[in-house]
């Protein structure tokens, strides 16, 4: 999911933040769950271009709930 001239990056931020909220994750815990750098996750959550794989992974985490609930 990449930004477009129509403000796609803004909608990416909304999607990423909504999925993080649904999963009960902050930027640090999302980065840990996705096994990516925390600064990269911060970029996705603040307007950076978001790869589709990251959105799909966040969707999976959101569907599963908080990581502590899975254990």
Is the pLDDT at 58 greater than 70? The verdict is yes
In tens, the pLDDT along 9-45 reads 668 899 999 999 999 999 999 999 999 999 999 999 9
Residue with tokens 């599963």: 64
Contact 28, 38 (CB under 8 A): yes
Tokens representing 54 are 């990251």
- Which of 24, 53, 27 minimizes the C-alpha distance to 38? 27
- pTM to 2 decimal places: 0.76
């Amino acid at each position: 999911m990449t930004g477009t001239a129509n403000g796609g990056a803004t909608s990416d931020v909304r999607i990423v933040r909504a999925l993080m909220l649904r999963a009960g994750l902050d930027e640090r815990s999302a980065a840990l769950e996705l096994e990516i750098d925390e600064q990269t996750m911060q970029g996705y959550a603040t307007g950076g271009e978001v790869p589709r794989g990251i959105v799909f992974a966040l969707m999976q985490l959101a569907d599963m709930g908080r990581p502590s609930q899975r254990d």
